[in-house]
Amino acid sequence: MILGIAILAIVGGGALKVFSETGLPQQAMIRDYTVAMNICERFLSSLHNDLADGMVIENMVDKDVTDAILENPNIQDYLKIFAGGVGKDTTSLTSNFKALLTVRPGPGPQSGVIKNIKLEFKWHIGRKQHSFALESYVYTR
């Protein structure tokens, strides 16, 4: 009986610590990473669709596409919950993230029709810097 109470106290104390104020920054960081992944995936998916429809895109390195993400209506729901909310309906004039797009030719002899696309998403919470990058290849016409 005493052993059961001790185990419950240890497990319950650990769970309480996770869900108390000391665990909130970790939970926010985990939430922000998952939202950043979704934002990158949606942006790259829409870019893939545009390229498949015949849009021409030039090669570039680290082009800032933050404004394009902020103005994308498909991403607004994610921006509302990302890092305290930076969507279009917020009153803040600055965002706490930066999105950089890199487009390069694909490998080998198909380099004319295959593009390597990489979106790097960087943000900060206080003094801590975080980043996530998503990279893929797309066939262009």
Domain boundaries defined on the chain: 22-139
> Which carries the bigger pLDDT value, residue 95 or residue 137?
137
pLDDT tens digits, one per residue of 56-82: 788 889 888 888 888 877 777 777 777
* pLDDT 10s digits, 24-47: 666 777 777 888 888 888 888 888
pLDDT, tens digit, for every residue of 81-96? 775 555 444 445 456 7
Higher-confidence residue of 119 and 22: namely: 119
Share of the chain above pLDDT 90, in %: 5
Beta strands 128-139 and 114-125 are: antiparallel
